[in-house]
Structures are given as structure tokens and as C-alpha cells.
Amino acid sequence: MGKDSKAKVVEALKMKGIDVFGLERELMMMLRRGMTSIEVYEFLKKLIEGEKR
Amino acid sequence: MKSIRIILENIGVFRDRREYILSTGLNIIYAPNASGKTSLINGLKVLMLPSLTTEEIAKALNDYEEKGRVKLVIDDSEFSVDLIRMPDGTVRAQGRRFTEDSLIERVAFIDLGSDLVAAILAGNHDLVKSILREVTGVSHVETILDTLTRLKSEYEYSFQARRKEYESKREVYVEQRQRLTERLENIRKRIVEILQAPQLEPARKKMEELESKRNTLLEIQRRLREQKLEITNRIGLLKRDHDLNKSELDIHKREREKIVKELDELRRAGPDMRRALEILLKEVENLQTERENIISEIREKERMLERRKEVIDYAVCPYCGAPIEEDRIRSEIYELEEDLEKLRSELKKIINAIEEKRMEINEIREKAERRLKELEEELKKIDERIVNIERVLDTVDGKIKQENKRLAKIEDEIKDLDKELNVVNVQLEVLRSEVPINLIEEYRYLTNEEQKLYEELDSINAKLRQLDELYNELRVLEDKLERVRLLQEYFQIRLNELTRATVERINEVILKHMKLLKLAELEYPVLVEDFTLTLTRAGGTPTTLAELSDAEKAIFTILMTLVLKEYVAGEFPFYVVDTLMEFIDDTRAAEVLKYLMEAAGNDKVIIVTKTRPFTGEPRLLSQEDILVNTIPSALTQPSR
């Protein structure tokens, strides 16, 4: 059930042009390197506005 | 790793160059207090921790020295960091570190300065939980989720506000349109009635023809007005695009000017910089000559000193046979030793000066080259952007021109229609003179009203079409909101998965280190799903961190950091425990050390400090104080 809903969300994001696995990797890596929450906000905002990916 | 050498220059308590050899396996630095155990660890920290604070960096350099160096040589690889005291008193660290992973500090360097150690020793469960979440990366997903929640509320607010605006405007316009349409229908009905009145009989046919022609012309004119409005809107949007691109172009051009100016200045400064570099190089050359002279002087004096020391015990000189005057030779030896000390101190100063000059030279070169490269790259990027914007501007301007042509054509057509309508109206006026005056007045009033209503209806339709743009914006916003919702859903699922999996995995790793758990007199498991510590005493009595003894807390800290290190930095070969062993009684300390020896195996380097009781005079750390895979006998002998 959980896996199904995750797969559906991943597919829906893919249809909207977002590779969520790549995004998770990138964000986790940047957070590990000390990215601040403001930078996360700006990064995600750009993604949602369609300026990235 | 076959050989590991650490070289410390002016680090901590050491005011000179020290070299120690470390080995794979367990290295116990077993030495008295103030001998330099922590200085060695601080040196390692400088080499391995990229996120040290300025205070920690300053602590590593000897208080009386202006600069120091830590060097780690592992087989053929060399890592070195220089510490330089700046004029403002701060200490700068520069060089090549062994790792750039900031997590290493929290899982592989365990001392009283570590936040996890402090939290465990203070018995603060919540802090331990939050550190565990941070180190394992779970809190990163929480940060992402918090950000998405904030973004979602922003988009939702904006979406709802726009939707309200759209719906309320649309309601008003639709109602107005309906009212106008009803009024228009009534007017038309009355016009038909008037046209069918018997009093109009003689002129009816002609009037009906003209009326129909007038209606057709009005209809065409209405369509043309609609087209005109659409084109005007399009031109407005294109002009907005033009203005936006133009202002962006202006900004880029201004930026370009600045870059070109800086580049010119930098290039003009080239000869000055070269001159400064030449001066510095000349200074280095002079210092090197001076150094060579001092070195030969030292060698000469050393030779003289050696000879005097050799002959002092003889009655006669073995070289020339002259009798030896011991007092004179002793005073010469004293003088020579003094001279040598002075010369060596001078040599040290010169060597330092050479190094400082070299660093200055490198800094000037690197700084200028780096900036030049940065500016050239920036200029290239800006030029590309300018070309792109100019291309877009050309396209937009071309479209504006086309739309203006179409607009002029439509305006001409509307004017022509106006002329035609005037002719029809005049013809109708002539016919109206042949019929009763009251009907004609009513008819004239109604046709005027009809025309006004048509115009009002056109304006309402245009407003409704403008609302379509708002509707499109609404749909774009809805799409963005959907993206945020999906991302939030995904990261919520990931947070649950990650939390569960991480806790399971950490518990599994803890199971591998059961011996340490037993030494801390605790039972498995230690963590529950949300990272809460659930501590149980051997025998099943629940307990808390605060209730553990200092030794138990210290062993528990070693256990948790070993586990975390294995989880987040399993490949990192070093694991260092400073000071913590002092909290553990000798019997258990020996057990912990044996355990760490096994854990280190042949590929990891575990370094643990342990204070040796004073025997004799205070002294600095020597290679003999580093015991490799050997537990100090003082810990294993119960009679002690």
C-alpha cells in the first residue's frame, strides 16, 4: 500500500518533469555539506517555478 | 595503510618539530598529564575536520608561536595544514586536509567538546535524539518537509486570493451581460413591433431592408472592435515583454561595463604586480644566500666545537702536540656554543621569513590569476546572455510591428464601416419623415439605445476575455501547488521510511557491539522508532541517561559513536577517543580497550588517550608512549 502510493507520487512528479530521486540525492548531499534552510527554500522554489529541471 | 606518520610543528604544547608513528589497530597514547596527548589529537583534528571553529583552530597552535604545521603522511600520500597567526590574533588554517566530510567530527573524534558526548554526559535525552536525527540525515528530510510546508502555504494563499478575485469578477460580469442581453432583446422586440405597425406600411419594405443592412454592418463592426481589442491586448503584452527584456539587457550591459573595467584595471596592474613579485623574489633570493652563509658558518663552528670537545680530555693536542689549556678550551667551547645558538635562532628566523615571502608570492599570484579567470568566465557568460536577450528583443519588436500593421488595417475597416452606417442612417432618416412622428421618435430612441447596449456588451465581453488570462494564471498556480503537494507527500513517505530503516539499522549495529552495551550494564534494544532512547538495566529495570554512572555514560558514548561512525562514515579509517577513558575505572577501561583493539582489526586506526601516572620529572610525549595493540599493564593488574 505504502509502496503503491510512493510509486504513484513518483510517477506524478515525473509527469511534471521532476526526477524526485535525483532531487532527494542532490538536496541530501547539499544539506550534508551545510546548506541552510533558506538555501533549501530558494532551491525548491526555483524547482517549483520551473526554473530548474 | 602501511605507514602513518604525523608531524607536528609548534602545535599545542610542542614548541618544535615532533614526529610520531601511528599504526593500524589500536594506538593507546599512554602518557602523563600535560605531555601533549591532546595536542597530538588537536593536530589530527586540524588535518581532518573541515568545520573546526576559529577558537578550535587557534587552540591547536602553540600560544607563543606565530605559525605551525601539521602533516600526515600515509604511505605515499601527504596531507598538510599550515596554521598562521594573523595580525588580529586569529589563526588561519590552510592546506590539504585528509577529508572534507563535516560529519566526521561528530562520529570519529570523540572528546569532551563533541556535542553528542556533552549531551550523553549531561543525560539530555532530547538533545541526544535530535543529534542522532541530524547525524543520520533524518533531520535533513525534516528540513526539506518544513520548507515544503512553508512553500505550500504561500502558494495556497496566493491561489485562493487569485481564485476569489477571478470568481467575484466573473460573477459580476456574467450578471451584467445577462441584464444587457435581456434589455437588448426587449428593445429589438419593440423595434420589430414598430416596423410592423400599419402606419409604416408605405415605407416598410425599404425600411426593413435598410434595418437589416444596418444590423449586418453593426455586427461586422462589433467583430472588428473585438479583434481590435485582442490586438491591442497582444501589443500590450508584447510591449511588457519588450520592456522587461530591455531592462534586463540594460542591467547586463551595466554589469558588463563593470567587469570590463575591472579586467582592464587588473591587466593594467599586471606590471605593478610583476614588479612587486620581482621585489619579493629578489628578497627571497637574498634571504636564501643569507641562509646558505649562516649554514656554512654553523658547520664551521660545529667542526671547531667538535675538535675542542675531542681534545679537552687530552694532556697534549693529538694534532699538533701542543699542551692543552683546559680552561681556555672550556671558555672557547662555551663561546662556540653560544655563537651556535645565536646562529641557529637566526637561521630559524630566516627560514620563517623565506616561507612567509613565498606564501605572500603564492597568494599574490593565485589571487590575481583566480580573479582574472573568474572575470573572463563571467564576461563570457554575460556576453552570451546579452546575445540571447537581443535575439528575443528582435523577435518581440518584429511581432509588435506586425500587430501594429494589423491594427491599422482594422481601424481603417472600422472607419469605412462607420461611413457606410452613416449613409444607411441618413437613408433611414429620409424614410422616417414619411411616417408618424411619435413612432419615429421612439424608433430613433430605441435604435440609439440598441447601439449603446451593443457597445456595453462588447466591453463586458472584452472584460470576460481578460478574465481568461487570470484563469490561465490560476491554472499555472494550481499546477505549482500540485507540485508542492506531491513533493510534500513524497518526502513525508521518505521521512517515515528513513526513520524506521535508520533506527532498525542502528539497532542492528548496536547488536554487533553487544559487549560494550554489557560493559555499560545496559540491555538491547536502545532506540525506538522515533529515535527515542529506551534504556534498560541488566535485569529489565528501565533507566535513564541521567541515572547512569560516569563510566557507564562514557562507555555508552563510545558505543553510540562507534555505531554512528559505522552507519555514516564506515570507510573513514580513523576513530579517536580523547579524555573519555579517564571516566572509566581501570578494569572496565582494559575491557573497552580490548574491545576497541578487536574493532580496529588490520584496516582501521583507533587512537585512544589515557593518562599515565607521573613517574619522575614532567616530560613531553615520546614515541614509546604510543602503545600499539598493547593494553597498559597498570590497567590489567588488579593489585594496582
Contact B143 A40 (CB under 8 A): yes
Contact criterion met (CB below 8 Å) for B33 and B600: no
| pLDDT score, position B118 | 92
Q: How far is CA B533 from CA B120, B435, B517, B540, B562, in A?
A: 11, 103, 13, 15, 16
- The pLDDT of residue A17: 86
User: Which candidate from A16, A33, A41 shows the least CB-CB separation from B483?
Assistant: A16
User: For residue A1, what pLDDT band results from cuts at 50, 70 and 90?
Assistant: very low
Prediction ipTM score? 0.96
Q: How much is the pLDDT for B34?
A: 87
Q: Which residues of B touch A33 (CB under 8 A)?
A: 102
Q: Does B483 touch chain A (CB under 8 A)?
A: yes
**Domain assignments of chain B as residue spans, ordered by start:** 4-123+513-636, 246-431
Contact list in A for residue B490 (CB cut-off 8 A) is 6, 9-10, 13, 20
Q: What is the pLDDT of residue B234?
A: 87
Contact of B493 with chain A, judged by CB distance below 8 Å, is answered with yes
Can you read off the three cell numbers belonging to residue B140?
A: 535533513
Q: Note if the bond before B525 is cis, omega within 30 degrees.
A: yes
* Mean pLDDT value of segment B120-141: 91
What is the percent of chain B where pLDDT is above 90?
A: 47
Residue B246: pLDDT above 80? yes
Q: Which residues neighbour B110 within 8 Å (Cβ) at sequence distance 6 or greater?
A: B116, B117, B557, B558, B561, B575, B576, B577, B578, B580
* Interval B479-506 mean pLDDT: 94
Cβ neighbourhood burial of B11 (10 Å; 0-12, 13-18, 19+) = buried
For the segment B1-11, the average pLDDT, to the nearest whole number, is 89
Q: How far is A41 from chain B (nearest CA, A)?
A: 6
Contact of B102 with chain A, judged by CB distance below 8 Å, is answered with yes
Q: Which pTM does this prediction carry?
A: 0.59
Per-residue model confidence as pLDDT tens digits over B421-446: 999 988 888 877 777 777 778 888 89
Does B584 score more than 50 pLDDT? yes
**CB of B514 within 8 A of CB of B121?**
no
Q: What is the pLDDT of residue B536?
A: 93
pLDDT, mean of residues A46-52: 80
> What pLDDT, on a 0 to 100 scale, did the predictor assign at position B319?
67
Q: Is the Cβ pair A32, B489 closer than 8 Å?
A: no
Taking only the tens place, the pLDDT of each residue in B39-71 is 999 999 999 888 888 888 999 999 889 999 999
Share above pLDDT 70 across residues of chain B, in percent, rounded to a whole number: 99
Distance from CA of A28 to the nearest CA of B (A): 7
Closest partner CB to A48 (pick from B103, B143, B484):
B484
Interface of A to B at Cβ within 8 Å reads 2, 5-6, 9-10, 12-13, 16, 18, 20, 23-24, 27-28, 31-34, 37, 40-41, 44-45, 47-49
* Between B599 and B309, residue with greater pLDDT: B599
Cross-chain Cβ contact B486/A9 below 8 Å: yes
Q: Measured between CB atoms, which of B102, B148, B493 is closest to A44?
A: B148
Quote the pLDDT of residue B122: 92
- Per-residue pLDDT tens for B97-124? 888 777 788 889 999 888 899 999 999 9
Distance of CA B342 to the CA centre of its chain: 51
Q: Where do we find the cell 699542551?
A: B323
- Choose, out of A11, A19, A30, A41, the residue to mutate when testing the contact with B (most B CBs < 10 Å): A41
Chain B residues in contact with A13 by the CB 8 A cut-off are 483, 486-487, 490
Which residues on chain B are in Cβ contact (under 8 Å) with A2?
493, 496-497
Q: Domain B4-123+513-636 classified CATH 3.40.50.300?
A: yes
Q: What is the band of A51 on the pLDDT scale with cuts at 50, 70, 90?
A: low
Task: Report how far residue B359's alpha carbon sits from residue B283's, in angstroms, rounded to the nearest whole number.
Answer: 13
Q: pLDDT digits over B185-210, tens only?
A: 999 999 888 888 877 777 777 877 88
Residue position matching grid coordinates 539530555: B124
What is the pLDDT at residue B640? 41
pLDDT of residue B467: 86
Render pLDDT for B78-99 as a digit per residue (tens, 0 to 9). Answer: 899 999 998 888 898 988 888 8
Mean pLDDT, rounded, of chain A:
85
Domain B246-431 falls under CATH 1.10.287: yes
Residue-wise pLDDT tens digits, B251-276: 889 889 988 998 888 888 888 888 88
Q: What is the pLDDT of residues B330-367, one digit of tens each?
A: 888 889 989 998 998 888 888 888 888 888 888 888 77
Tell whether the model's pLDDT for residue B451 goes beyond 90.
no
In Å, how far are B185, B188, B195, B199, B207 from B440, measured between CA atoms?
A: 19, 15, 10, 11, 12
Task: Mutate one of B486, B488, B496, B567 to test the A interface: name it (highest A CB count within 10 A).
Answer: B486
Beta-carbon count within 10 A of B1 CB: 14
B4-123+513-636 and B246-431, same CATH topology: no
What pLDDT, in 10s, does the model give residues B586-623?
A: 999 999 999 999 999 888 999 999 998 887 778 899 99
Q: What pLDDT shows up at residue B358?
A: 85
Contacts of A32 in chain B (CB under 8 A): 101-103, 137, 140
**Contact at CB, A37 and B479, closer than 8 angstroms:** no
